Amino acid sequence: MRKIINSADTFVQDTMEGIIAAYGDKVKLLNDDFRVLLSNYPTQDGKVGIVTAGGSGHLPVFLGYVGKGLLDGCAVGEVFASPASEKMADMIRACDRGNGVLCLYGNYNGDIFNFRMACDEVEFDDIETRQVLVRDDVASSPKENADKRRGVAGMVYAFKVAGAAADRMMSLDEVAAVAEKALANIRTMGVALSPCIVPKVGKPTFTIADDEIEIGMGIHGEAGIEVRKMMTADEIAETLVETITKDMPLQSGDEVSVMVNGLGGTPMEEQLIVYRRVHQLLEDMGVSVVMPHIGEYATSMEMAGLSVTIFKLDAELKELLQAPAESPFYTNSNK
């Protein structure tokens, strides 16, 4: 294992301390707890709180979206491991401003179990919560079992839309409904060219030949749907767009936002080459792209590969997507 770290045991704490050292004017720790990050931006009293949680190793998810018009708090565990329910409960309490907290997170068993316990715990403090699960990975389960799908890069769009809704002082039920509506119109699929190494494990999470590509790989190294010989950028784009649009059909005149997300070890040039073909395919369908996102939004340590997310918009979702937002890792100044 060759990584620029101090030790596997201090990886998460050292990362959090680096974030605070760099962006301490924008985010802060909860009572010096390096497992819970809170927004340091001014917030209106009565605004619905929005929180998430999950394993470390995916920056900018989840920590990078704590800020204005996005998340109010984030709890993290060890690399690829859920944080404890007590940390989630502390975070929820810190983010409640009197009108409840939306817990918006990926469909992973550890996170589900711990968030449920946390929400039960804060009920004793008279804090109302709602839970919305992100299930955007079309490769992880067929459409008839969509409730079993994993949450991947599409959650960034959900954070953005829910954050904008909360900033408009919508109620807890309204913010949860907007998040659900967004997620019903978000689909993601990825490919992997190489594994990553979890610091405490010290060896690759899977193996793949130099001339192969795994289609549908999960962000923790979960198996995809097939392994193929290496493909061109255009072939990758065509495969991902075809699979996504079969699951979520698009029509001429539709508007979408597209995210090409690097998994940690893919150059921006390669992401842009894939986006070029995705844009062409959508244009040929008569579909317009609004606010494309190209870059690293949800990584898997140093895994080489990328994912494509398509977010189908209506007038409300488009307006919420374009609303201003600011965090150390994500800024949108569109009006």
26, 149, 160, 220: which is the annotated catalytic residue? 220
CA distance 204 to 328: 30
What sections of the chain are H helices per DSSP? 11-23, 85-95, 109-123, 155-167, 172-183, 233-247, 268-284, 315-322
| Active-site residue flag, 293 | no
Catalytic residue among 35, 58, 150, 277: 58
Dist. CA 138–CA 114, nearest whole Å: 25
**Three-class DSSP category at 198:** coil
Q: Reduce the DSSP state of residue 185 to 3 states and report it.
A: coil
Q: What is the secondary structure of 29-62 as a DSSP string?
A: EETTEEEEEEE-S---TTPPEEEEEEEES-TTTT
Residues found in the chain: 335
> Phi and psi (nearest 5°) for 134?
-90, 125
Q: Is 58 a catalytic residue?
A: yes
* Residue type (1 letter), 12: V
Nearest Cα to 92, choosing from 132, 130, 45? 130
Residue type, 152: V
Which sign does the torsion angle of CA 70, 113, 92, 198 carry? negative
Q: Terminus-to-terminus CA distance in the chain, angstroms?
A: 45
CA distance 172 to 24: 29
- Report which residue type is found at 199: P
The SS3 call for residue 159 is helix
Active site residues: 58, 220
